[in-house]
Structure 1
Amino acid sequence: MAKTIRIHAFGGPEVLTVEDLDLAAPRPGEVRIRQRAVGLNFIDVYQRQGVYPNALPLVLGNEAAGDVVAIGPDVTEFAPGDRVAYGTALGAYAEERNVPARLLVHLPEAVSYEVGAVMMLKGLTAQYLLRQTYPVKPGDTILVHAAAGGVGLFLCQWGHALGATVIGTAGSPEKCDLARQHGADHCIDYRREDFAARVKEITDGALCHVVYDAIGKATFPASLDCLRPMGMFASYGAASGAIEAFDINLLARKGSLFATRPSLFAYAAKREALVAMTEDLTTAIGSGAVRPEIHARTPLAEVAEAHRALEARETTGSTILVP
């Protein structure tokens, strides 16, 4: 039996229930993991609400780290005792679970389980945004919305290390201080200031090469006003609600802009890509350019309260669930 968090209906945090479930032996291509730390992400909220619907009953969570305790037939890359992590395998809210081996990576001894549990979705999201969606170069100016959040802090640190001028936005002076401590050269309190106007002031009218936006409805279309001609708008989340349909000619009117809605699931779909992205991330962590920090630890059984705090934007940095 494994203690697991399941939902039987879409809705608020109250639908999260603690259950003891029997766990079958790993099937061909699967690995059983005893989980040491589980990452909390906004995609968990979307899936709980049914915004990204999945079949019910459903075990939430996409990101975790732990130890291999058993392997299924045909698994050759992993063995019992290996330290592993993953970021795109739904079903992480559990003490133990089976995971397709193709979605796992080896966790270096120098990387803790806690860091492993927050780097595989949040850190790899920062990796594809900074290194692939818009490859950041020295001298670029980038805008990071939700700069004090889990992905936001990765983006600020790594963007700074890549030589960019990093402008962040956050919802309080305290969150702005945190963003600046993690590489943001400037931080705009969007509750008190017009962020588009401030970006124009900060850049002397030159504006940004790219905007990384996890907020969605509340920051669109003002984010487009922060971009220089041929700039890139990368929308990777919708904490305030989804961006509604818009006239694509708006991109032309605002300077022949590019707009994309990328996802980690697409960028890491091929195993070789997942492994290469993880190696790039762990290299950045090993060099000290990126220093993942855990700002809250919540017992897995109390995950509903963690969801409430995340939705209310009361959290900063990364939160882990402890099985």
Structure 2
Amino acid sequence: MRAVVVPCHGGPEVLELREVPDPRPAPADVLVAVEAIGVNYHDALARSGALAAEPPFIAGVEAAGTVLETGTEVTDLVPGQRIVWPFTEGSYAELAAIPARWGVPVPDEVSSEQAAALVAQGLTAHYLSFDTYAVRPGDDVLVHAAAGGVGRLLVQLATHRGGRVIATTSSDAKADFVRDAGAAEVVGYENLPAKIRELTGGKGVEVVYDGVGAATFEASLAAVARRGHLVCYGATSGPVPPFEIRRLSRAGSPYLSRPSLIDYVVSRADLLARADQVFELAARGVIQVPVTGRFGLDEAQTAQQLLDDRTRVGKLIIFPQGVPQTATETATALAAEAR
């Protein structure tokens, strides 16, 4: 089969499209014909060496496809069934053998492309806004990097739950993209605490969802209300440096969380229940993930370069069997609209 391999750590240029042996499912695995692959910052972090993955390895952790074969221990997935998975290495490939525990059945009304675009970031935005801090009607909510995949979903979900979202972005084009998702206010990162205090009558926000990390942590801490909640769920700018915990008592006694999706889908039942809610919200139009970039396996370098540049809004999808023509036309129109 063809697969995109990371032979060594580095930039997008290290990615290689290779012929590799077909995978075989272990007893608790399923073998899947991959149809659509979600491109994520996790992929870039693994490629660059920021994560524990040691080369060589097949890139990617999120995809959707059709089950071809099941291992002897698998009882709840069957050949011919479409599934999607949020974190299984080896997804940039024509075939993938994944643990059945992570295979989520895809509803008939959801395409494989939509499932691959939604599952990892949708699950993340859902647990953050429904559980880590459950947004309440009237809450002021600050969402950093709101034009990103998780950020835009957080804007939609927090607004759906009755919050007033203040979003940060780095450009006018991204600001329009975020307003379209429901943000009440969109601001830049400069002098952010002062802007937040002005927009909230001096009190600050009830919750900050910060997936940026080092570059925004101090501003986030200064923007959160007394006994508010600062949720640091990612670190695209690098990890937050160590700090003295007593600082929290001088900052209004906020709660500080560093959650991870894995702890909110501990059992398969947890995963399926949360995924069902995400797909149901998508079916109702509460959350939408516009796909603005579609690529073949041989264009993985280009896809990850766009990810590294952080200039493209919307989701990037890789198609192992080639990009459908209608999908290409749709992506071109969406990208032009976003610009």
* TM-score bin (small chain): over 0.9
Q: Is the contact between residue 61 and residue 92 of structure 1 (CA under 8 Å) also seen in structure 2?
A: yes
**Structure 1 residue 229: Cα displacement:** 1.1
Q: Paired residues, what number?
A: 320
Shift of 1:261: 1.4
Deviation, 1:132, is 1.0
Q: Distance in 1 between matches of 2:72 and 2:34?
A: 21
SS at match of 1:218: coil
Runs of 4+ in 1 over 6 A off after TM superposition: none
Residue 218 of structure 2 corresponds to: 221
* 1:56 partner SS: coil
Q: Which residue of 1 aligns with 2:136?
A: 137
Q: Could you say if the C-alpha distance between residues 322 and 81 of structure 1 is closer, same or farther in structure 2, counting changes exceeding 3 Å?
A: same
Q: CA deviation at 1:92?
A: 1.0
Q: Which amino acid aligns with 1:103?
A: W
- Counterpart of 1:211, as a letter, is V
- What secondary structure is seen at the aligned counterpart in 1 of 2:8? coil
Query: Which residue of 216, 221, 243 maps to 1:246?
Result: 243
Match of 2:286 in 1: 289
Q: What's the CA shift string for 1:212-238, capped at 9, x where partnerless?
A: 111111112111111001111111121
Alpha-carbon shift at residue 186 of structure 1 (Å): 0.7
- Residue identity matched to 1:98: A
- For each residue in 1:261-318, what CA deviation from the matched residue of structure 2 results, as whole angstroms up to 9, or x when unmatched? 1111222232111111101111211221112211211222211122122112112121
Asked whether the equivalents of residues 62 and 121 of structure 1 are also in contact (C-alpha less than 8 Å), the reply is: no
Equivalent of residue 319 in structure 1, options 316, 320, 328: 316
Measured after TM superposition, the shift of residue 161 of structure 1 is 0.7
Aligned to 2:18: 19
Q: Report how far residue 207 of structure 1 moved.
A: 1.3
In structure 2, do the counterparts of structure 1 residues 94 and 169 end up closer, same or farther at CA, with 3 Å as the change threshold?
same
CA distance in 2, matches of 1:150, 1:295: 12
1:273 aligns with 2:254: no
Task: Return the offset for 1:173.
Answer: 0.8
| Residues 4 and 21, structure 1, Cα contact 8 Å, conserved in 2 | yes
Structure 1 alignment gaps of length 5 or more = none
Say if 2:140 and 2:206, in contact at 8 Å, map to a contact too: yes
* Equivalent of 1:205 in 202, 205, 220: 202
Give, as a single letter, the amino acid of the residue that structure 2 aligns with 1:253: R
Post-superposition offset of 1:198: 1.2
SS at match of 2:52: coil
For 1:247 and 1:49, locate their aligned partners in 2 and report how far apart those are by CA, in whole Å. Answer: 30
Between the aligned partners of 1:194 and 1:300, the Cα distance in structure 2 is 42
Are the equivalent residues in 2 in contact too, given 1:173–1:189 (CA < 8 A)? no
Name the SS of the counterpart of 1:221 in structure 2.
helix
Contact persistence 1:88–1:265 (CA under 8 A): no
Inter-partner Cα distance in structure 1 for 2:303 and 2:214: 23
What's the Cα RMSD here? Answer: 1.2
Does 2:164 correspond to 1:168? Answer: no
User: Are the counterparts in 2 of residues 4 and 94 from structure 1 also a CA contact under 8 Å?
Assistant: yes
1:257 to 2:238 alignment:
no
Q: 1:25·1:72 contact (CA, 8 Å) conserved in 2?
A: no
CA–CA distance in 1 between the matches of 2:58 and 2:244?
37
Say whether the 8 Å CA contact 2:3–2:19 is kept in structure 1: yes
Cα displacement string for residues 127-180 of structure 1 (whole angstroms, at most 9, x for unaligned residues) = 110011111111111111010111111111111111110111000011011100
Q: How does 1:86-165 map to 2 (within 5 A)?
A: 86-165=85-164
Is 1:34 matched with 2:16?
no
Q: Which residue of 1 aligns with 2:70?
A: 71
User: In 1, Cα distance between the equivalents of 2:136 and 2:89?
Assistant: 34
Which amino acid counterpart does residue 311 of structure 2 have in structure 1? E
1:178 counterpart SS class: helix
1:304 and 1:251 mapped to 2: Cα distance? 42
Q: 1:94-130 deviations in whole A, cap 9, x for unaligned?
A: 1111011001110001111111002111100101100
Partner of 1:308: 305
* TM-score for the superposition, normalised by structure 2: 0.91
Q: TM-score, normalised by structure 1?
A: 0.96
Aligned-pair identity (%): 38
Cα drift, residue 250 of structure 1:
1.6
Distance 1:270 1:5 in 2: 30
SS at match of 1:210: strand
Structure 2 match to 1:5:
4
Give, as a single letter, the amino acid of the residue that structure 1 aligns with 2:139.
Answer: D
